[in-house]
């Protein structure tokens, strides 16, 4: 399913994203190393076993990226111009290697551009859950979205 245009969103619209993904040790290690994050809580099993978690935590930015990524197919695939910002990001519960993450997105506001008639800003609230249904990530994201081409003529 391609993404939706600005005109196809409505405030309060909820997307329960069908895609989900299990995060592996390799995912966590690769992401942490690619982003130059040497935090032993993410990459050192022996260090992490002596923490309150008892095992490595998944890098929170990987979790955030995955939650937003799971939304793309249903919301912004091919119709977004770009992200404008992300706010109110929280990680209320840890994600552990082997957890499966799912996502839900709610449209919280819409604003047509005053200066460029071919676009508008959609504000999304993204929520990520583990396989037990526990909230593990949430954020508010503003995206610049294209309007339907016929809406611009």
> What is the rounded average pLDDT of the residues 134-150?
95
Q: Residues 39-64: pLDDT tens digits?
A: 999 999 999 999 999 999 999 999 99
pLDDT for residue 149: 86
Indicate whether 135 belongs to any domain.
yes
Query: Please, is 122 exposed, middle or buried when counting C-beta atoms within 10 Å of its C-beta (0-12, 13-18, 19+)?
Result: buried
Indicate whether 22 belongs to any domain.
yes
pTM above 0.85, yes or no: yes
Q: What is the Cα–Cα distance from 48 to 41, expressed in whole angstroms?
A: 5
Indicate whether 104 belongs to any domain.
yes
SS3 150: helix
Residues constituting the chain? 153
% residues pLDDT > 90 (the chain): 95
Indicate whether 110 belongs to any domain.
yes
Q: How many domains does the chain have?
A: 1
Q: The domain spanning residue 77 has which CATH number? A: 3.10.129.10
Indicate whether 1 belongs to any domain.
no
> What is the rounded average pLDDT of the residues 65-76?
97
Q: What is the Cα–Cα distance from 77 to 109, expressed in whole angstroms?
A: 19
- Domain extent at residue 17: 6-152
């Amino acid at each position: 399913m391609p993404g939706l245009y600005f005109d196809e969103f409505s405030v309060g619209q909820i997307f329960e994203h069908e895609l989900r993904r299990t995060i592996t040790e390799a995912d966590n290690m690769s992401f942490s190393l690619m982003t130059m994050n040497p935090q032993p809580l993410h990459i050192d099993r022996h260090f992490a076993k002596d923490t309150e978690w008892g095992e490595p935590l998944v890098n929170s930015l990987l979790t955030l990226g995955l939650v937003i990524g799971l939304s793309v197919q249903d919301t912004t695939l091919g119709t977004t111009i770009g992200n404008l910002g992300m706010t109110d990001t929280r990680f209320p519960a840890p994600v552990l290697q082997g957890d499966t993450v799912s996502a839900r997105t709610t449209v919280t506001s819409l604003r047509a551009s005053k200066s460029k008639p071919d676009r508008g800003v959609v504000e999304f609230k993204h929520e990520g859950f583990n396989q037990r249904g526990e909230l593990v990530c949430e954020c508010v994201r503003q995206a610049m979205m294209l309007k339907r081409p016929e809406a611009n003529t």
